[in-house]
Amino acid sequence: MRIWNKKKVFIVFSAMIMLVTLRAAGQDLLISAEVTQVNDKEWFTPADKKVVNSADGKAGYSDNSGKPNVIIILTDDQGYGDLSAHGNPVLETPNIDKLHEESIRFTDFHVAPMCTPTRSQLMTGQDALSTGAFIACCGFALLDEELPTMADIFKANNYETGLFGKWHLGDNYPYRAMDRGFKETVMLKGWGITSTADYWNNDYFDDYYWNNGQLKQYEGYVTDVWFSEAMSWMRKQAEKGRPFFSYLAINTPHAPLYVPDEYRQIYLDKGLSEDLSSYFGMIANIDENLGRLNKFLKETGLKDNTILIFMTDNGTYSMVANYYNAGMRGTKDSLYEGGHRVPFFLRWPEGKLKTPRDISTLTQVQDLFPTLVDLAGLESSISNFDGTSLVPLLTGESPGSIEDRMLVIQYGSQPWYNVGLPVKGEASVLWKKWRLVNDSELYNVDIDPGQEDNVAGEHPDILQKMQEHYERWWNRMQPRLEEVNYISVGTEFENPVILTSHDWHFMNTANNAHIREGANRSGPWYINIEEDGEYEVSLYRWPKEAKTKLRDGVPAYEAADDVFEEGKALPIAFANLRIGNQTYTTEVTDDDYAASFNLELKEGKTQLQTWFYDENRNQLSGAYHVHVTKMIN
């Protein structure tokens, strides 16, 4: 049972005073140079609130000497074999390899086979199916607002908190990173660059990103920007004597495979294909930036008391696995080992964690939250993590029950269009070196790392024990799948609300390619109208920044490392809007950039869906972007 108090609290305070009792959800609502208005929720149990309110008895910066800084580097679509320290025969990653040498390395560490569920598990310490964020789009990439995040707890313990890169757990209030404990955010939207939620025609170079809710252009290659912004922010915190939690969620080497030529050319010269050279070039750039970060930590004196973690969010691509996959079967999206076993390195020179070494105990991403609570000495009364603190393994103490536990990996896949909820049995159960895949295939990866020999018939007792564990786990998870996370409209914390087809329920139209091709699809958004009032609802075929009329196409775009295909014109004559049981229609002209409706809407949870029609009332597509604005009198 959840015990979080959802009562809203409104506070006006000077920007010169640090407020640690509430999670700042509205950092973009700057009223003046010194006054910020914040709406928040009470997220902590009474014990947590006591910690927050009794930090030092007064506002302002305090002496935090001795608290470790924490940096998590999470790369995107980089597999276990995609670094030279793990045997890759051509990829050169000297800085990652150096971190490997200096770290405690969990060699049997697992995540989800897809980005969003891994991120929800990392941020909450819970299994993905219980978080509401277990598919990479389609209305199921919104992290349950009732769950406290890692950033919430760090912030409650008087840490500065920053996200740099890819959040992918919700682009609208109350799901944004800035609503979920991060006081500083520099980030892209959606699943990444060229997703429908991203800024139009971003191409990894000199792009537009969101800084605390405000759109800004940043000069440089995307990964360089994330590291530079994070280091600049960390330097400021160090100068003020503030401990920090920095989440560097890199969106590379995720496709599209765009990278400066000098990194790609290294691997072209080795005879690799252009795609593989681009992918390895993106990792080489990450490696170079890790070198920059290490230099920064040394020069600022931060290295010794900083917990630095390097990990990735899922397995590699098929084209890469065909070249090298560390002997594993499966890639991104797969329930086999190559889909979810990833690198995990932890370095903390002052942490008394004994010497760098390999730890082969089965571990998972959900373990990281409770582990950091213990390592950093954070006060938190959260007691229902699905993960387990790994401190006994890190310090060399008795691991206790950690070594005998079973883990379950399950997430929601997404075909190109129609999406369904996770299906019972489509999972991987992990127990020591045993792997139960799809409820019927049993492998011992200790002697069969490629998972080629199904030994279910030879070990019926083990098969049954793992199946029974999964049955209990599924019965606990399944009820949560029926719940819906609603996007809030009509609040002062995001107005207007920009809805994109990335979050259409059960409909995968999350790529800008869908918009350019004029995909004849539509899905509902689940919205929570927070307040009665007059609203303007504007339907766009193209994102507003494209400055393109509803009926027009767009020309091909010469991007820095690619050419984006031209966008198809649609003969839109009518626009249709449905909110709950009410349907509205308006005509569209050649001059219209959007079809707008001014409506009186009542408070409550409902669905919003759109369609564009031609003059014969044939369906053409939904509105891929919808702006919902509460009118202020």
- Residue 59 is predicted with a pLDDT of 28
CA proximity to 376, closest of 116, 63, 71, 595: 71
Q: State both tokens at 306.
A: 């900083």
Average pLDDT, stretch 109-136? Answer: 97
Q: What is the rounded CA–CA span in Å between residue 516 and residue 510?
A: 12
- Residue 401 is predicted with a pLDDT of 85
* Single-letter residue type at 204: Y
List domains and CATH numbers for the chain: 8-409 (3.40.720.10), 487-630 (2.60.120)
CA proximity to 207, closest of 184, 226, 233: 226
State percent of the chain over pLDDT 90.
86
Instruction: For 175-201, give one letter per residue: b (16+ CB within 10 A) or e.
Output: bbbbbbbbbbbbbbbbbbbbbbbbbbb
- Reported confidence tier of residue 325, pLDDT bands at 50, 70, 90: very high
> Whole-angstrom distance between the N-terminal and C-terminal Cα of the chain?
41
- Residue 381 is predicted with a pLDDT of 84
- Residue 5 is predicted with a pLDDT of 33
Q: What is the rounded CA–CA span in Å between residue 567 and residue 549?
A: 12
| This model's pTM is above 0.85 | yes
- Residue 417 is predicted with a pLDDT of 63
- Residue 633 is predicted with a pLDDT of 75
Tell me the pLDDT tens digit for each residue of 14-49: 232 233 333 333 333 322 222 222 233 333 332 333
Whether the predicted pLDDT of 290 surpasses 80 = yes
- Residue 207 is predicted with a pLDDT of 98
- Residue 235 to residues 92, 232, 297: CA-CA distances in angstroms? 29, 5, 9
* Residue with tokens 């004994």, as numbered in its chain: 354
Whether the predicted pLDDT of 291 surpasses 90 = yes
* Residue with tokens 């990194």, as numbered in its chain: 263
Whether the predicted pLDDT of 485 surpasses 60 = yes
Average pLDDT, stretch 388-406? Answer: 92
Q: State both tokens at 56.
A: 């030092």
Q: State both tokens at 138.
A: 């389609």
State percent of the chain over pLDDT 70.
89
Q: 342 near 311, Cβ under 8 Å?
A: yes
Whether the predicted pLDDT of 245 surpasses 50 = yes
- Residue 398 is predicted with a pLDDT of 81
Whether the predicted pLDDT of 604 surpasses 90 = yes
Average pLDDT, stretch 273-278? Answer: 97
Rg of the chain over Cα atoms, rounded to whole angstroms, equals 24
Whether the predicted pLDDT of 65 surpasses 70 = no
Tell me the pLDDT tens digit for each residue of 406-423: 999 999 986 666 788 999
Whether the predicted pLDDT of 438 surpasses 80 = yes
Average pLDDT, stretch 387-406? Answer: 92
Whether the predicted pLDDT of 51 surpasses 60 = no
Q: What is the rounded CA–CA span in Å between residue 252 and residue 249?
A: 9
Q: State both tokens at 469.
A: 């564990």
Tell me the pLDDT tens digit for each residue of 333-385: 999 999 999 999 999 999 989 899 999 999 999 999 999 999 999 999 898 99
Q: What is the rounded CA–CA span in Å between residue 10 and residue 37?
A: 8
Q: Count CA atoms within 13 Å of residue 218 on its CB side.
A: 27
CA quadruple 264, 267, 269, 275: dihedral, nearest 10: -70
* Residue with tokens 């049955």, as numbered in its chain: 471
Q: 487 near 503, Cβ under 8 Å?
A: yes
- Residue 415 is predicted with a pLDDT of 65
Chain-wide mean pLDDT for the chain?
90
Tell me the pLDDT tens digit for each residue of 554-565: 999 999 999 999
